[in-house]
Amino acid sequence: MSNIKKAFENGKAFIPFITCGDPDLDTTARIVRAAVQSGADLIELGIPFSDPTAEGPVIQEANLRALSAGTTTDKIFELVKDLRKDVVIPLVFMTYANVVFSYGTERFVKKCAEVGVDGIILPDVPYEEKSDFGPTCEEYGVDFISLVAPTSDNRLAKIAQEAQGFLYVVSSLGVTGVRSEIKTDIASIAKIVSENVKVPYAIGFGISRPDQAQMMAQYASGVIVGSAIMKIVAKYGKDSVPYVADYVKEMKDAIRTIP
């Protein structure tokens, strides 16, 4: 059991996603620290993958920029080690199965535990395949975080019951990316989730504006935002730190007191 639950003790949690190494790892470190200062409760660190099949164009491009800049899994472990000198909020990795599998699942998870990564999210590993990663994560005290989607239906309850760390509720069909409106019936998904889950749950995919975050925060313990942040990074590059900081503050302030 990691300290992920602490992220949900400060009102509704705001969870930024940041692709590591876009435009470079030094900027990533500065963005993470700024996000923490602005009130981020947990940060998802994306390890870039060449072919991120669950991502929309914004994060696909962030992945490619990061890889072109020479970002590797080992350099990201070094980044986390450095961040852990002063960053105390929970950090989780979000990447793809092959990044972990190819590194050696046990070697990867052991390193996560050593440097202080609290959980791992692999969007291409569903419930049926989690035995490849889950038991190793458990052994090293790293949470293997599950996802549910609007199409999960009869699968919602069992996934929620076994969820560890926090449960990632995917708000919409399709891939990650900014959406002008979210049409899914989140209320009924949240109801089934809340009746079954033993850990906090956060909603992600398509959220970019404070009003959307407020709407989603009514149904969950937190909201996750990725593409809107990586859009800022794409626009301002090495100078994006203050812009991300302002954005995180605005979003956290919007949801902090939502009941």
Q: Tokens 């009941």 belong to which residue?
A: 259
- Whether 214 contacts 176, CB under 8 Å: no
Q: Rule CB under 8 A: is residue 161 a binding residue for another protein? A: no
Measured from the CB atom, is 178 or 258 closer to another protein? Answer: 178
Please give the residues from 59 up to 118 whose contact with another protein meets the rule CB under 8 A.
Answer: 60, 64, 67, 72-74, 96-103
Interacting residues of 154 by C-beta distance below 8 A, sequence separation 6+: none
Measured from the CB atom, is 38 or 146 closer to another protein? Answer: 146
Among 78, 114, 129, 195, binds another protein (CB under 8 A): 129
Measured from the CB atom, is 38 or 171 closer to another protein? Answer: 171
The helix (H) or strand (E) run that includes residue 64 is helix 57-68
- Whether 122 contacts 97, CB under 8 Å: yes
Among 9, 26, 51, 114, binds another protein (CB under 8 A): 51
Which among 164, 184, 226 has a CA at the least distance from the CA of 18? 226
Distance CA 30, CA 24 (A): 10
Interacting residues of 9 by C-beta distance below 8 A, sequence separation 6+: none
Measured from the CB atom, is 37 or 131 closer to another protein? Answer: 131
Q: Rule CB under 8 A: is residue 155 a binding residue for another protein? A: yes
Cβ at position 222, least distance to another protein in Å: 18
First to last CA, the chain: 26
Cβ at position 131, least distance to another protein in Å: 6
Q: Which residues pair with 93 in a beta bridge?
A: 45, 120
Measured from the CB atom, is 3 or 194 closer to another protein? Answer: 194
Number of residues that bind another protein (CB under 8 A): 45
Q: Rule CB under 8 A: is residue 153 a binding residue for another protein? A: yes
Q: Rule CB under 8 A: is residue 175 a binding residue for another protein? A: yes
φ/ψ (deg, to 5) at 14? -110, 125
Among 89, 149, 160, 224, binds another protein (CB under 8 A): 149
φ/ψ (deg, to 5) at 94? -120, 120
Cβ at position 76, least distance to another protein in Å: 10
Q: Rule CB under 8 A: is residue 230 a binding residue for another protein? A: no
Distance CA 123, CA 145 (A): 9
Q: Rule CB under 8 A: is residue 210 a binding residue for another protein? A: no
Helices 25-37 and 241-255 cross at an angle (nearest 10°) of: 30
Contacts with another protein by CB under 8 A lie at 49-51, 53-54, 56-57, 60, 64, 67, 72-74, 96-103, 123-129, 131-132, 146-155, 159, 170, 173-175
